[in-house]
Amino acid sequence: MSIIVSPSLLSANFLDLKTDIESLNKIDDLWLHLDIMDGHFVPNLTFGEPVLNQIKTVCKHKLDAHFMVTDPDFFAENFKNVGLHNFTFHWEAVTHHDRLIDKLKSMYASVGISLNPSTPVSVIPKYLLGKIDLILLMSVNPGFGGQKFIPEVIDKVIELDRLRHENNFKFQIQVDGGINDQNAGYLIQAGANNLVAGSYIFSEPNKDYLSRVNKIR
Ligand code: DX5
Ligand code: ZN
């Protein structure tokens, strides 16, 4: 699998989003990671459908939405015309996982499940691993950019990669939180193929985002 980097818009310049998105358009094999927060599942609020409708008019990359919300079912309906490629919800927020996954599958090309750092991989039954397109392992407690990487996530990547091989599952393994050029190599070696990075990419002083993306790869 090739390595996809998904820059998290949360760390971009919100006063000049268009410039940042156009810089990312010059780089290949990216997704654009969009952190949707509701102020309930996590103690922060970000952006919603009106902002995304404008972003999609300038972004050439696939839109990768990470819903840190208590009611992903509601957001599934609300965002259905935004043109998202991937819809990831948090396992911890949902009671009826199968029902939600079936619904999302009928609406979005790719459906992901996210696990908080303290949620073990074993909560997801095998039959759902066979249905899902992406598993997002959080390597920080969600809610904010710029937090410190929790290295124990590497063991979860190894466990998930083993399950993927043993069962010939096709899901991507995405990791999100505190990713930089120091830890990306360990994650890729462990089996991750999709890395989200916010502050590491957007803090590049000359806005040379390609150099940061290449260092992650
Ligand atoms: C955190 C978000 C992340 C965040 C990553 O809750 O899910 O996507 O923006 O930012 P960094 O890479 O700065 O940790
Ligand atoms: Zn995220």
Reported as a single tens digit per residue, the pLDDT across 176-210 is 999 999 999 999 999 999 999 999 999 999 999 99
How close is the Cα of 145 to the center of ligand 2, in Å? 8
Tokens of 196: 């989200």
27/48 Cα distance (integer angstroms)? 25
Asked if 181 is an active-site residue, the reply is: no
Q: Closest ligand 1 atom, CA of 197?
A: 12
H/E stretch holding 52: helix 49-58
Of 90, 87, 37, residue with least CA distance to 62: 87
What φ, ψ does residue 126 adopt, rounded to 5°? -55, -40
Whether the pTM exceeds 0.95: the reply is: yes
Mean pLDDT of all residues in the chain?
98
Predicted pLDDT at 121: 98
* Ligand 1 site, residue 48, Cβ cutoff 6 A: no
Give the amino acid at 182: Q
Average pLDDT over residues 28-36: 98
Task: Show me where the domains of the chain are located.
Answer: 4-216
Predicted pLDDT at 58: 98
Give yes or no for residue 1 having a pLDDT over 90: no
Of 20, 64, 133, 176, the catalytic one is 176
**Under 8 Å CB-to-CB from 101, ≥6 apart: which residues?**
111, 113, 128, 131, 132
Contacts by 13-20, CB closer than 8 A, 24 or more apart:
13/202, 17/55, 18/58, 20/202, 20/207
Question: What pLDDT band is residue 109 in, cutting at 50, 70 and 90?
Answer: very high
Question: What pLDDT band is residue 2 in, cutting at 50, 70 and 90?
Answer: confident
Please report, for residues 4, 131, 180, 203, the alpha-carbon distance to residue 121 in angstroms, rounded to integers and kept in the order given.
22, 15, 23, 32
Q: Tell me the CATH class for 4-216.
A: alpha beta
pLDDT tens readout for residues 43-53? 999 999 999 99
